Each structure stands twice: as C-alpha cells, then as structure tokens.
Structure 1
Amino acid sequence: MRYTLKTLLITTLFYLTSSVLFAQNADAVLGVWKNGEGTGMVQIYKKGEKYYGKIVWLKVPNDADGKPRTDVNNPEPKLQSRTLKGLENLRDFVYKGQNKWEDGRVYDPKNGNDYSCEMKLIDDNTLEVRGFIGVSLFGRTDVWKRQVKKS
C-alpha cells in the first residue's frame, strides 16, 4: 500500500510538471523576431489558441517620397494602399509540440504571395520559418533571430 501511494504521488507530480512545461513551451515563440535579411521585424503574439505575427519594424520604413511604405505588390488593388508597418503577415499557427507551430500562413509583401507555413524554434533565440506551396518539401526556410522576448 505504501509503495502504491508513493508511486501515485510521483506519477501525479510528473504529470503536473509536464503540463506546466508544455504550456510554457507553447508560448516560447512569443516576442519580436528579425528576419534573415535583417530588413524587418515581426512581433509574434497569441489570439485565443492560435499564433499570429505583425510587422513592427522595417529597415527602410518609407518610400522615395518619404511616405510610409505600402503593400504595393499585393495582387488585390484595394489592399495596395495599406501600410507595411503593422501588417499581420503571420496567421493561424497552432502549437503541435516539440517546438513546432504548424497549419499557419505567411504573407510575403515583397512579392504579394501568401504561403502555407511552419515554424520551428531551434533554440531560445533562433526560429526557422518555412513557407511553402503544397507540401513542405517544396518551399524556402528563413532563419529569424529573437530581438525581444515576451515580457
């Protein structure tokens, strides 16, 4: 009886600890990240159970006329006048465990295309962002570096 109670307590403690670590791990992606080219920063945040990102900094924030850069490459004319700073370019990511967020979309304002996307946290400060069409095998990975961790 004594052995069973001890085993039960240890097992319960293990499961409680695991669930706390899992919840913290899911939010490990939150913060501000600089893209691989160093031309922009994206703040990743959470809405409900999904993860999103918006552009919060641009190396070249203004066009030749000194006005804030807009989404000129968007295929929809009505969206071409929206400013890039503040644009939500990552959306609908779901945490799948093992430092992976999947089932998301990424919008690339350089070409106006929208792609399926997965993100993988390599370490505390390195995030692989893979955009693709169809299957992940046919895509491109960009390595982002953390600038600010969620407070």
Structure 2
Amino acid sequence: MIVFLASSAPTWAQMTPEGLWRNVDDKTGEAKAEIRIRDAGAGALSGVLEKRLSKTAKPEDVCDKCSDERKGRPMLGLEIIRGASKAEGKDVWEGGKILDPENGRDYTLRMEPIEGGQKLEVRGSIGPFGRTQTWIRVQ
C-alpha cells in the first residue's frame, strides 16, 4: 500500500493548476507567455505573467487597456488570474477571473488540468460566450 501511494504521489501532485504554464494562442499557435499560478491563501489561486514570448512584446509594455488598479502597471508581473478555487469533488478550479491584458477585460475563469496535469484547459467567458485555451506545463 505504501509503495502504491509513493509511486502515485508525483501524478497526484500535478493535478493542480499550481505551477508554471506556457500560454499558446488558440488562433495562431504562437507561444505568447508564461504564467505562474500560486496558492493565494484561503483556497484561492492567483496567476502572474512571468515571461512574455510574443515577438512583438517589449519589456517596457504596460497594461494600458486595464480599467482597474492594474492600469499602467508593467505587463511582467501583472496578476492576470484572481480568486479561482477548487470545485467540490472535482479537479476543476472556477469562480475566479482571468484578465486579457491585450483588451483589458476580465472574464469568468474555469481551469481544468488534463493529460495527467501536463496541460491545463483555461476557459474565459462572459455569459454564454467564451473561449478555451490549452496551456502547457513548463518543467
């Protein structure tokens, strides 16, 4: 029994959104950024833009389209995920918001680890409309 638990621990530990993820544009297939998702306390997750990979990204870029306290803040280090928490009895995190810094809009967030936690389905939506991206875990 102990051998089974020890051998399954690495897989179980990966079935969480916590970690470093590469965001790939669902339209162009271009790697755009790396986002670090962490426990923000009280069971909620937070995610910050750690690295920008887009060819047009500049280190001095700021979130000029944001409408809250993030307006004018540097893109690097910008908190884009707030308040997602684990759904009861499921490997799904929801109830939070995700910011698209390119348009300044906040979307309702749903995240689900797939493929043994090596990929993360990230869905941002407003009402019935939304889109899903698949992020790849950075090792």
If the length of structure 2 is used for normalisation, what is the TM-score? 0.76
Give the AA of the match of 2:19.
G
Among 23, 40, 50, the alignment partner of 1:35 is 23
Structure 2: give runs of 5+ residues left out of the alignment: 26-30
Among 103, 124, 128, the alignment partner of 1:131 is 124
Give the AA of the match of 1:100.
V
Among 44, 49, 52, the alignment partner of 2:46 is 52
Structure 1: give runs of 5+ residues left out of the alignment: 1-12
Aligned length: 121
Report the CA distance shift for 1:105/1:26 in structure 2 as closer, same or farther (over 3 A). farther
Among 70, 83, 104, the alignment partner of 1:92 is 83
- CA contact under 8 A between 2:15 and 2:91: conserved in structure 1? no
- CA contact under 8 A between 1:26 and 1:95: conserved in structure 2? no
Once residues 80 and 132 of structure 1 are traced to their aligned partners in structure 2, the CA distance between those partners, rounded to angstroms, is 21
- In structure 2, the residue matched to 1:140 is 131
Q: Over the residues paired in the alignment, what is the CA RMSD in angstroms?
A: 2.3
Give the AA of the match of 2:101.
P
* Structure in which a larger fraction of residues adopt helix: 1
- Give secondary structure in 2 for the equivalent of 1:39: strand
Q: Which has the larger radius of gyration?
A: 1
Q: Which structure carries more relative contact order (alpha carbon 8 Å, separation 6+)?
A: 2
Once residues 136 and 15 of structure 2 are traced to their aligned partners in structure 1, the CA distance between those partners, rounded to angstroms, is 16
Once residues 14 and 96 of structure 2 are traced to their aligned partners in structure 1, the CA distance between those partners, rounded to angstroms, is 15
Aligned-pair identity (%):
30
